[in-house]
Structure 1
């Protein structure tokens, strides 16, 4: 397991806060209430370890295979339905959405290999990530990857806790399946818009792994 570069600053700040809180308490108050000091120590240690785990990148055997769409994120499948896309396709697409809780790995990966032909950031609200309108009203970053005649739109969506979406792709860039496309901090959702009629290999409420689980067959 490694730590994602997006977490270096947050973890450094968290470590400083952890150290400051505990040093101040043990230096000024531990003599009067020692047991409370230990409670504070373990509570803040738990929060620091949780912060570190949020930015973890576990060692995995990633799935690289032509003709399939790989999960762009860890989480639970919360939507599998046809939906009209007003942003790019202007027609119906098959939407598959993955909800990412704060406990999930939050690195996002390219679901297919191909060329980036669209990349757009949208300001928006911070509705809870499972809200039906979060796909169109929340802060989000949309990318379309094209391979041959197939175009897949991947939408990184901020949730109630997510306050920063990071996207590494640029229009004209060639990308490989399972390579990092971005990162979303602190709870979020990723939508994929696939061609109507695409064979879906997952079910609602199924837990998937980014870069590993095959979502659909093209």
Structure 2
């Protein structure tokens, strides 16, 4: 479980204890105790942090998050040099840990304050609160965006500029429903499709083509 869950669990535990004390005099309050208990279970479930088997290979790009691919294609159609955009929508029931899609060095981190529109909107990548991470690998450079959504109000990044990361390594999370965008260069041959569900760190979304 991610450490960001602890403040929420402490709040739920304290509220449940206080309500339980009140319930000895007002039995109807037991319903609220159960409700707070269920909330604590949801928080623990939401912040779960399962281990993942990272696929081997130095030519792979793995999914940076769990969720549903809602957009897949070149940023600029008809431009052969256009990067690919892979947008992954994370529902409140998905694991919200973000992982490095390739091994490399974080060259730049930018925080962009913004709005909290639905993460499913195309313009969310331009207007919403987000972290932008530029990750340089041995063969390609990719850009990852943690984008806050309608419910999500905070992106959390555990890494900084200059940090070395392994492929599939945990780099942060986004609280509650959100979106993770990945921009990869055109020399990556994608092997996923729009509408497919992916698993962060485990699903190979593309392979780096060898130069001819």
TM-score, reference length from structure 2: 0.89
Deviation of 1:154 after TM superposition, in Å, equals: 0.5
| Match status 1:47 vs 2:72 | no
Say which of 192, 195, 202 aligns to 2:192: 202
Deviation of 1:46 after TM superposition, in Å, equals: 1.7
Q: C-alpha separation between the residues in 2 aligned to 1:52 and 1:23?
A: 24
Structure 2 residue matching 1:61: 3-state secondary structure: coil
Q: Is the 8 A contact 2:19 2:30 kept in 1?
A: no
- Equivalent residue for 1:23? 21
Q: Is the 8 A contact 1:97 1:189 kept in 2?
A: yes
Structure 2 residue matching 1:115: 3-state secondary structure: strand
Which blocks of at least 5 consecutive residues in structure 2 are unaligned? none
| Match status 1:69 vs 2:67 | no
Say which of 159, 167, 178 aligns to 1:169: 159
Structure 1 residue matching 2:7: 3-state secondary structure: helix
- Equivalent residue for 1:147? 137
Q: Is the 8 A contact 1:64 1:177 kept in 2?
A: no
Say which of 8, 24, 30 aligns to 2:6: 8
Q: C-alpha separation between the residues in 2 aligned to 1:156 and 1:133?
A: 14
Say which of 37, 51, 56 aligns to 1:59: 51
Query: Aligned pair count?
Result: 204
- 1:3-53: per-residue Cα shift (whole Å, max 9, x none)? 1112112211122123323432x12321xxxxx445433332222100111
Q: Is the 8 A contact 1:64 1:178 kept in 2?
A: no
Q: C-alpha separation between the residues in 1 aligned to 2:157 and 2:56?
A: 21
Structure 2 residue matching 1:215: 3-state secondary structure: strand
Structure 2 residue matching 1:131: 3-state secondary structure: coil
Structure 1 residue matching 2:83: 3-state secondary structure: strand
Q: Is the 8 A contact 2:96 2:173 kept in 1?
A: yes
Q: C-alpha separation between the residues in 2 aligned to 1:130 and 1:164?
A: 17
Which blocks of at least 5 consecutive residues in structure 1 are unaligned? 31-35, 85-90
Deviates more, 1:151-160 or 1:199-208: 199-208
